[in-house]
A and B are shown apart, each in its own frame.
Chain A
Amino acid sequence: MAGFRTFLAVASLSLFAASSPARTQTPVTENIQIGLSTDHVSITAGFSGADLTIFGSLENADPRVARQGRYDIVVVLEGPARKVVVRRKDRVLGIWINLESETFKNVPVSYSVATTRPLQDVTDPNSYKQLSLGAANIYMQPADVDDSPATIQEFTAALRERKTATGLYSVNVGGVQFLSQNLFRATVRLAPNVPVGTHKARAFLFKSGLFIKESSAQLEIRKSGFEQSIFRVAHDYSFLYGVFAVSLAMLTGWLGRLVFRKD
């Protein structure tokens, strides 16, 4: 039951070297590709987190730049976006009560990053902002835009902090490794409470701190197994599920009396 599956997503190594226009007079532009061998991952009920490995390739890489280690890759696995309510507790008569709250629209439930080097060494903060790359740069859209900027800022920070604390937002520095000049491997973390749904894997290529290219692929995370069937029935046939829960309780009570009867 406690088994989880780590899976390998093998890149589509489309190295069309022979037909590539590399020898023409225009300067070569590097390209990045990630491909997933499967479009879905099933996690079982006892899932306690795992590493997800994504392979990718770097095309038309300049050997000289590669040798100097000036290519950097950032891979992001972004979970489905949902509405989130952030609440803050305050003390009222000594009791901690949820008072202030802020609702955000379209917040990615999870956001796992893997990089070749620490984020601040790859490129400057402005580029990250332009690319909306990194947990600190995702735009959290407040539902109520009339709230004061200070409040929104406070709750946005709290939202990121909570997401990081629960492992849903993570950064794996050194999680992207070059296997050869053209081939790389990215390891992103899946938190135990990784949300089901469509996740988007994106890879960003930087050369000497400059953003070059982006590639993306989609991945569906599903839960499987007996517990998941219960969950689905509870949501899709909730009335029948309730009837079942009640009958099960009565049956257990009746059997319990049969087995342990004292009178």
Chain B
Amino acid sequence: MGIYLPIAEISVNIFVLLAMGAAVGFLSGMFGVGGGFLITPLLIFYNIPPAIAVATGANQVIASSFSGALSHVKRGTLDFKLGGVLLAGGIVGSTGGIFVFGFLRRLGQLDLFISLLYVVLLGTVGGLMLVESVNALRAARSGAAPVLKKSGQHNWIHRLPLKMRFRASKLFVSVIPVLGLGAGIGFLSSIMGVGGGFIMVPALIYLLKVPTNVVVGTSLFQIIFTSAYTTLVHATTNQTVDVMLAFLLMAGGVAGAQYGAKAGQRLRGEQLRALLALLVLAVAIRLAIDLFVTPPSLYSLSGADPT
């Protein structure tokens, strides 16, 4: 069944979008990620203009992170204070990202920049994860005890000034790296349409030494507001948020997430991470190929600037 997307201005198949949302929801439930980094490239593969895929991806991320954060609030595994500081940085980063987004769009380099960012980030994160999980799998097979990172150890980040106490995370740390991390994630959110959980979670664990149990909830809390802010600003300045598209993805997503979570419980941690790493790498490679393959037409037309 075809449906016309009012902002993207193309006709698409409603079931393809629902299935896409469900598949990504399944994976996000299985791996505990928002899924924005999969939705946006998938939309681009499905011929949705990248600018709309990004803004709508941000909108879709709100739904999955909101429902995820709710369960963390209930379990008390959400550090509101840490989330709030991350958010303050996120708003600044997101504003900067929107400005860069509009600038690149006027230059005609937006699509290229989005693809490059995806290839680099997904390639790096996927590669690191694959190496780490393969090593863990090997270690488990040979029967050796896994080498645990000493989480009490301090690094250069803990010597920075302007320290602040985060009680729920049992953390006493400078606000500078927290604000910086928030800003970086906000920037990526507005340019790539991702929540940024796949960067935020490892950064909180390894850089800031936040206890693992509050990491996911806190990250989701920050992502709700950053992606909500991104959606709002994209809607007002670029008019690139397609609610029809976002709603179909969300509807499929919330349904798929629960089955994913169930399936995830049956797999081991290292196996899950290896699978996710392969998936992330596959998306990165697919996007990279598009950069190198000769396009069917070298010329493209675009309308005048909206301003």
List A residues at the B interface (Cβ < 8 Å). 1-2, 45-46, 48, 82-90, 94-98, 101, 155, 158-159, 161-163, 165, 192-193, 227-228, 230-231, 234-235, 238-239, 241-246, 248-250, 252-257, 259-263
Q: Are the CB atoms of A227 and B4 closer together than 8 Å?
A: yes
How many of chain B's residues have a CB under 8 angstroms from any CB in A?
61
Asked whether any CB of chain A lies closer than 8 Å to the CB of B231, the reply is yes
Q: Are the CB atoms of A241 and B241 closer together than 8 Å?
A: yes
Asked whether any CB of chain A lies closer than 8 Å to the CB of B11, the reply is yes
10 further contact pairs, Cβ within 8 A, besides A87-B108, A89-B300: A46-B11, A86-B300, A87-B300, A89-B298, A95-B292, A97-B112, A162-B299, A227-B4, A234-B241, A254-B70
With A249-B231, A253-B65, A254-B70 in contact, do A45 and B6 touch (Cβ < 8 Å)? Answer: yes
Q: Which of B16-72 contact A (CB under 8 A)?
A: 59-60, 62-68, 70-71
Q: Max chain A CB contacts within 10 Å: which of B60, B63, B253, B295?
A: B63
Q: Are the CB atoms of A257 and B246 closer together than 8 Å?
A: no
Q: Are the CB atoms of A254 and B241 closer together than 8 Å?
A: no
Q: Are the CB atoms of B298 and A252 closer together than 8 Å?
A: no
- Roughly how many angstroms separate A41 CA and B303 CA in the complex, as a whole number? 23
Q: Are the CB atoms of A87 and B6 closer together than 8 Å?
A: no
- Roughly how many angstroms separate A86 CA and B301 CA in the complex, as a whole number? 5
- Roughly how many angstroms separate A235 CA and B109 CA in the complex, as a whole number? 24
> Looking across the interface, which residue of chain A has its beta carbon closest to that of B288?
A95
Q: Max chain B CB contacts within 10 Å: which of A163, A250, A257?
A: A257
Q: How many A-B residue pairs have CB under 8 A?
A: 179
- Roughly how many angstroms separate A237 CA and B293 CA in the complex, as a whole number? 40
Tell me how far the C-beta of A241 lies from the nearest C-beta in chain B, rounded to whole angstroms: 5
Q: Are the CB atoms of B243 and A245 closer together than 8 Å?
A: yes
With a CB–CB cut-off of 8 A, which chain B residues contact A90?
Answer: 298
> Looking across the interface, which residue of chain B has its beta carbon closest to that of A48?
B11
- Roughly how many angstroms separate A15 CA and B297 CA in the complex, as a whole number? 50
- Roughly how many angstroms separate A244 CA and B247 CA in the complex, as a whole number? 12
Asked whether any CB of chain A lies closer than 8 Å to the CB of B261, the reply is yes
Q: Max chain B CB contacts within 10 Å: which of A46, A89, A238, A245?
A: A245
What are some 23 contacts across the A-B interface (CB < 8 A)? Answer: A1-B2, A48-B11, A82-B304, A85-B108, A85-B301, A86-B299, A95-B292, A96-B298, A165-B297, A193-B9, A230-B244, A235-B239, A238-B236, A238-B237, A242-B233, A245-B59, A245-B232, A246-B231, A256-B255, A256-B257, A260-B254, A260-B255, A263-B71
List B residues at the A interface (Cβ < 8 Å). 2-7, 9, 11, 59-60, 62-68, 70-71, 74-75, 108-109, 112, 224, 228, 231-237, 239, 241, 243-244, 246-247, 250-251, 253-255, 257-258, 261-262, 291-295, 297-304
Q: Are the CB atoms of A263 and B74 closer together than 8 Å?
A: yes
With a CB–CB cut-off of 8 A, which chain A residues contact B236?
Answer: 238-239, 242
Tell me how far the C-beta of B87 lies from the nearest C-beta in chain A, rounded to whole angstroms: 15
- Roughly how many angstroms separate A262 CA and B32 CA in the complex, as a whole number? 14
Q: Max chain A CB contacts within 10 Å: which of B70, B246, B294, B299?
A: B299
Q: Are the CB atoms of B11 and A97 closer together than 8 Å?
A: no
Q: Are the CB atoms of B243 and A87 closer together than 8 Å?
A: no
Q: Are the CB atoms of B291 and A249 closer together than 8 Å?
A: no
Q: Are the CB atoms of A83 and B303 closer together than 8 Å?
A: yes
B contact face: mostly helix, strand, loop, or mixed: helix
> Looking across the interface, which residue of chain B has its beta carbon closest to that of A192?
B11
Q: Are the CB atoms of B302 and A253 closer together than 8 Å?
A: no
> Looking across the interface, which residue of chain A has its beta carbon closest to that of B240?
A234
> Looking across the interface, which residue of chain B has its beta carbon closest to that of A45?
B4
- Roughly how many angstroms separate A97 CA and B291 CA in the complex, as a whole number? 8
A contact face: mostly helix, strand, loop, or mixed: helix
Tell me how far the C-beta of B30 lies from the nearest C-beta in chain A, rounded to whole angstroms: 13
- Roughly how many angstroms separate A257 CA and B254 CA in the complex, as a whole number? 8
Q: Max chain B CB contacts within 10 Å: which of A230, A239, A246?
A: A246
- Sort A-B residue pairs by CB-CB distance and give the 5 closest, nearest first: A256-B254, A242-B235, A253-B66, A249-B62, A83-B304
Q: Are the CB atoms of B63 and A253 closer together than 8 Å?
A: yes
With a CB–CB cut-off of 8 A, which chain A residues contact B11?
Answer: 46, 48, 192
With A84-B304, A256-B63, A260-B258 in contact, do A227 and B71 touch (Cβ < 8 Å)? Answer: no
Q: Are the CB atoms of B7 and A159 closer together than 8 Å?
A: no
- Roughly how many angstroms separate A246 CA and B246 CA in the complex, as a whole number? 10
- Roughly how many angstroms separate A1 CA and B4 CA in the complex, as a whole number? 9
With a CB–CB cut-off of 8 A, which chain A residues contact B231?
Answer: 242, 245-246, 249
Tell me how far the C-beta of B20 lies from the nearest C-beta in chain A, rounded to whole angstroms: 16
With A1-B4, A88-B298, A98-B108 in contact, do A249 and B244 touch (Cβ < 8 Å)? Answer: no
Q: Are the CB atoms of B244 and A98 closer together than 8 Å?
A: no
With A85-B108, A239-B232 in contact, do A246 and B62 touch (Cβ < 8 Å)? Answer: yes
- Roughly how many angstroms separate A82 CA and B195 CA in the complex, as a whole number? 36
Tell me how far the C-beta of A58 lies from the nearest C-beta in chain B, rounded to whole angstroms: 37
- Roughly how many angstroms separate A45 CA and B224 CA in the complex, as a whole number? 32
- Roughly how many angstroms separate A161 CA and B74 CA in the complex, as a whole number? 59
- Roughly how many angstroms separate A24 CA and B75 CA in the complex, as a whole number? 98
- Roughly how many angstroms separate A241 CA and B59 CA in the complex, as a whole number? 12
